[in-house]
Structure 1
Amino acid sequence: MAQIPRPARAADRSHAVVIGAGLAGLTAARALADAYDRVTVLDRDTLPADPAPRRGVPQSRQLHVLLARGAQALEELFPGFLEELLAAGATRADTQGEAHWYLDGHLLRPAPSGVISYGASRPRVEHHVRARVEALPGVVVRERVEVLGPVTTPERDRVTGVRVRPRADGAGEAGGAGETGRAGETAGAGEETIPADLVVDASGRGSRAPAWLEELGYPRPRQTRVRADVVYVTRHFRREPHHLGGRSGVALVPFPGLPRGGAIVSEREDRFAVVLFGLLGEEPPADEAGMLAYAETLPGPDVAEVLRTAEPLNEPVRMRYPASARHHYEKLGRHLGGFLVTGDALCSFNPTYGQGMTAAAQQAIVLRTLLARDRDRGRSRGAGGLPRRFFRAAARVVDTPWLLAAGGDLRFPEAEGRRGPADGLLDRYLTRYRAAASVDPVLGRTFLAVAHMLQPPARLMSPGHVLRVLRASGRAGGPVRTES
């Protein structure tokens, strides 16, 4: 059988393929467009012409917020993006000065912080990013395409493309690892092989990359999981000036003893997204009376007030998220050349922390930086062990949001996951920190800067902040609790 030839040197590394047209795939395509002559993005869905939820992104109907670091990253990748998003109706708010935060039942002391977040639906953000990517020279987004697996050299040491087939509406899930393609295989009916010098898997939590690698003789990456069994329900309401006293939103964070939470985000000036969530067996109802009763058990009156007084715009939508999962590609001793994994396929977080879009955009910046460094050093694109370098750099990006999400979930004794020997001591300090932040706005500002990934978590434990915690602890009152 004829084998797929290696790309000619004159066109070395000229084509990159991205699997998945979600935010991770689109931002990866943006990074690749600076280094490759052509970039093809493949997605299983029919992509909507207007901002709308789609089948392949079920969480797109849920509340989303663009964290401060994520906003900065998207602006870096797409200059002018934030102004474009605001012009389309998104909102901008100081997270401490224009929203209420309840940490362990304590109301964070409101004050201007300079930590700016953006309220917009996931479909809205993805729509504007996709439009920017499709406008890039050499980039093509193909919809309703199912990727069956990578094609490799006969030695299976690097990818030479991907094997795909058209996907009809209503088709079942993509095939398993046994359908992985290799150079020299004969394509089945309707299949085609797309040659590529680099393949980036951004297909989300359902990524089959570990199985593909195993089929090709590579080890599966080790996985770390933290199981919190999150269930959340989102509904949209008409926003009026009197709601929340004019504030843009609220966040009520679960804590041991009360594994329930909620949040409100202004997606537009006239529209709220409201989410209720529960962990470890707590499940918010999806009916109007049940949602209100659930909200009334939360610290503070904010969510219940909106549910009680605002006009609903649609029906509630429920979603389950069993566990955060991190795939440690950075620890593999051997990598398939020309094959990367990014976004939720690399690491997915408890969605109540709102970190997914930000982490994906940061990983795209890492990829762009590495490719630019190769170019500046005169190396061919992707040379010098790009997978090894990318996975190590991406792991450093993932470290902070993983620490925040996994650490927050592991506060609950019932959560399943590995705990370190110092976790108990750290948790006791951070419990005091949260209470102290109700009276010291500086502590609140730092907490939010860390939560929005603008500062490292170690900043919470700097000597100056430890001293502030000790001074403020005696002045902090008891938690605000609304009894059921």
Structure 2
Amino acid sequence: MDTSSTPRSAVVLGAGIAGLAMARVLHDFFDAVVLVEPHPLPADDRPRGGVPQAHHIHGLTARGLDLMEELFPGLDRELEDAGTPRLDHGRDVLTCFPTGNAPRVDTDLGSRLSSRALMEARIRGRVLALPNVEPRTGLRVTGLVTDAARSAVRAVATDDGGTVPGDLVVDTTGRFSRLPRRLADAGFPTPPTRTIDAGVGYASGLFEAPDQSWLALIQPTVCPDRTRGAYIGKLEGSRWMVTLVGACGDHPPADQEGFRAFADRLDNPVVAAFLAEARPVSPLHRYVRTENHRTDYHRMPAWPDRFLVAGDAVCAFNPLYGQGIGVALEQALLLRSLLAARTGRSTPSGPVGVAGVAELTGLAREFQRRLPRTTGYAWRMSTFQDAIWARHRAGRTTRRDRAVTWYLDRLYRAAAADPATAATFARVFQRAAPPTALLGPRVLLRILRGG
């Protein structure tokens, strides 16, 4: 594996969107890319096994859509041709704050709403069509195989008793990754972790309903009094995904009668009117493992060379905030920039093969150290209110929490009354503006005036 005449191979663990994005990048730099996945890969738009979020609403942030087009040019048009609606997050999204609905304003924040199965299938079709990408399904990784000095990962062990060797291995096995245990078994220290759990659970189902004046509706939960919320979005095929949300353990049931009773207590006439005309066309699916979980691999004193970990396996967000896919794409582009710099190719195109081992030495450590830059914004967005919910749930609310709650209440009042504040709120949520934009002079002035 260390001779320059040996073809260079990369191994990607997991064939979700993060793994597919990594495989797409590695295709440009390696002679062979092996995609290891325990579940079968559907040939059509059916949900893939092992993806609980396949049955819940998915949408790219405006930033995420830009990243997707950079990595997969033309995919936005492909999703459009499949019937997915494109929306402006100010004009086409009805945001229902406790103090009233936000004004509908043009923001030029374009994105797509689609089912997870469709989005993943179209990305998967592109990646598997690449000539040097080989999927190996039905294999579960059981451990890491390192060199004698335990300085680098050389292969992964699989449950069929074999190994899959690679010059570079990328772990994208998701929020329930067993990597910390596998690293410990290989003799590496335990990484520091952090979990913030707001006790959020939700139930989702597909419905047929008449067209609305909006393409998506958001009713956020608000600590401490409004534990219930809703997300509704129009998908391909003129179907609607309805997700009812409960924080602090107040979760919606997964039967139609209980689901609608839960919705009645939202005190939202728009949601009530929608469900009165909606007809269910799928079972309801429930999900409660929504905790934000971060593993700080970049802080480990020792890290194996030629081994990367990315996606939810590093930092998993509460899925309701819609940050995971965009972050995964950003991490794939980070890897592309590092490989391009090491191989002297600023615009990689087509399989070229890494010239030698030297380009890979130290790559893993550099990638892991730079990874927090891709997760920091999304982590703050996802944990800002979830951390308050978590402390409220534990009975440990702080003075700072009460100050933030006061500020959010005034912010929601301002966003419901002022189009400019509503547009700023949308831009921050879509990663088109920094969170500090919500502390700008215009927003602060409205808040100090009582919203």
Q: Do the structures match in fold with TM over 0.5?
A: yes
The residue type paired with residue 215 of structure 1 is D
Alignment map for 1:343-358 (pairs within 5 Å): 343-358=311-326
- 1:379: Cα distance to partner? 8.2
Who is 1:395 aligned against? 372
In 2, distance between residues paired with 1:451 and 1:298?
Answer: 22
The residue type paired with residue 258 of structure 2 is G
The residue type paired with residue 389 of structure 1 is E
In 2, distance between residues paired with 1:380 and 1:339?
Answer: 13
The change in CA–CA distance for 1:389 and 1:454 in structure 2 (over 3 A counts) is farther
In 2, distance between residues paired with 1:90 and 1:417?
Answer: 43
Render the CA deviation track for 1:266-323: whole Å, top value 9, x for unaligned: 1125110000011112011222222222112225322222222112111211111152
Among 155, 165, 168, the residue aligned to 1:161 = 155
Matched, 1:29 2:27: no
In 1, distance between residues paired with 2:444 and 2:357?
Answer: 49
The change in CA–CA distance for 1:431 and 1:61 in structure 2 (over 3 A counts) is same
Among 196, 208, 211, the residue aligned to 2:178 = 208
The change in CA–CA distance for 1:372 and 1:247 in structure 2 (over 3 A counts) is same
The change in CA–CA distance for 1:280 and 1:382 in structure 2 (over 3 A counts) is farther
Alignment map for 1:218-257 (pairs within 5 Å): 218-241=188-211, 244=212, 246-256=213-223, 257=225
The residue type paired with residue 262 of structure 2 is Y
Who is 2:297 aligned against? 329
- 1:464: Cα distance to partner? 4.3
Who is 1:181 aligned against? none
- 1:223: Cα distance to partner? 0.7
Q: Which 5+ residue runs of structure 1 have no aligned equivalent?
A: 1-5, 166-189, 477-484
In 2, distance between residues paired with 1:132 and 1:305?
Answer: 40
In 2, distance between residues paired with 1:427 and 1:409?
Answer: 12
Give me the CA root mean square deviation: 2.2
Runs of 4+ in 1 over 6 A off after TM superposition: 417-421
The change in CA–CA distance for 1:104 and 1:38 in structure 2 (over 3 A counts) is farther
Count of equivalent residues: 440
- Assess if the C-alpha contact under 8 Å between 1:99 and 1:248 holds in 2: yes
- 1:423: Cα distance to partner? 5.5
Return 323-332 or 284-293, whichever deviates more. 284-293
Who is 1:146 aligned against? 140
Among 329, 333, 354, the residue aligned to 1:365 = 333
The change in CA–CA distance for 1:48 and 1:269 in structure 2 (over 3 A counts) is closer
The residue type paired with residue 457 of structure 1 is P
- 1:107: Cα distance to partner? 1.6
In 1, distance between residues paired with 2:265 and 2:415?
Answer: 22
Render the CA deviation track for 1:83-138: whole Å, top value 9, x for unaligned: 00110111111112112112345322211111122110001010000011112231
In 1, distance between residues paired with 2:439 and 2:273?
Answer: 36
After TM superposition, the score normalised by the length of structure 2 is 0.92
Among 5, 8, 20, the residue aligned to 1:10 = 5
Matched, 1:272 2:250: no
Matched, 1:386 2:363: yes
The change in CA–CA distance for 1:441 and 1:44 in structure 2 (over 3 A counts) is same
Matched, 1:85 2:70: no
Who is 2:51 aligned against? 57
- 1:440: Cα distance to partner? 1.7
- 1:458: Cα distance to partner? 2.0
The residue type paired with residue 412 of structure 2 is R
Who is 1:171 aligned against? none
The residue type paired with residue 227 of structure 1 is D
- 1:465: Cα distance to partner? 3.5
Q: Which 5+ residue runs of structure 2 have no aligned equivalent?
A: 346-354
The residue type paired with residue 356 of structure 1 is G
Q: Secondary structure at the match of 2:170?
A: strand
- Assess if the C-alpha contact under 8 Å between 1:201 and 1:341 holds in 2: yes
Q: Secondary structure at the match of 2:197?
A: strand
In 1, distance between residues paired with 2:175 and 2:54?
Answer: 14
Among 418, 424, 428, the residue aligned to 1:440 = 418
The residue type paired with residue 10 of structure 1 is S
In 2, distance between residues paired with 1:215 and 1:79?
Answer: 41
- Assess if the C-alpha contact under 8 Å between 1:338 and 1:387 holds in 2: yes
- Assess if the C-alpha contact under 8 Å between 2:144 and 2:183 holds in 1: no
The change in CA–CA distance for 1:37 and 1:419 in structure 2 (over 3 A counts) is farther
- Assess if the C-alpha contact under 8 Å between 1:120 and 1:268 holds in 2: yes
The change in CA–CA distance for 1:98 and 1:365 in structure 2 (over 3 A counts) is same
- 1:234: Cα distance to partner? 0.5
Render the CA deviation track for 1:3-51: whole Å, top value 9, x for unaligned: xxx4312337x11100000011001111211221211111000111111
Who is 1:317 aligned against? 285
Who is 1:100 aligned against? 94
State, as a whole percentage, how many aligned pairs show the same letter.
Answer: 36
The change in CA–CA distance for 1:371 and 1:211 in structure 2 (over 3 A counts) is same
- Assess if the C-alpha contact under 8 Å between 2:99 and 2:416 holds in 1: no
- 1:153: Cα distance to partner? 0.4
- 1:416: Cα distance to partner? 5.8
- Assess if the C-alpha contact under 8 Å between 1:237 and 1:272 holds in 2: yes
In 1, distance between residues paired with 2:393 and 2:344?
Answer: 47
- Assess if the C-alpha contact under 8 Å between 1:410 and 1:416 holds in 2: no
In 2, distance between residues paired with 1:422 and 1:10?
Answer: 60
- 1:366: Cα distance to partner? 1.2
- Assess if the C-alpha contact under 8 Å between 1:101 and 1:107 holds in 2: yes
Matched, 1:306 2:274: yes
- Assess if the C-alpha contact under 8 Å between 2:210 and 2:277 holds in 1: no
- 1:333: Cα distance to partner? 2.1
The change in CA–CA distance for 1:77 and 1:456 in structure 2 (over 3 A counts) is same
Alignment map for 1:184-195 (pairs within 5 Å): 190-195=160-165
- Assess if the C-alpha contact under 8 Å between 1:238 and 1:313 holds in 2: yes
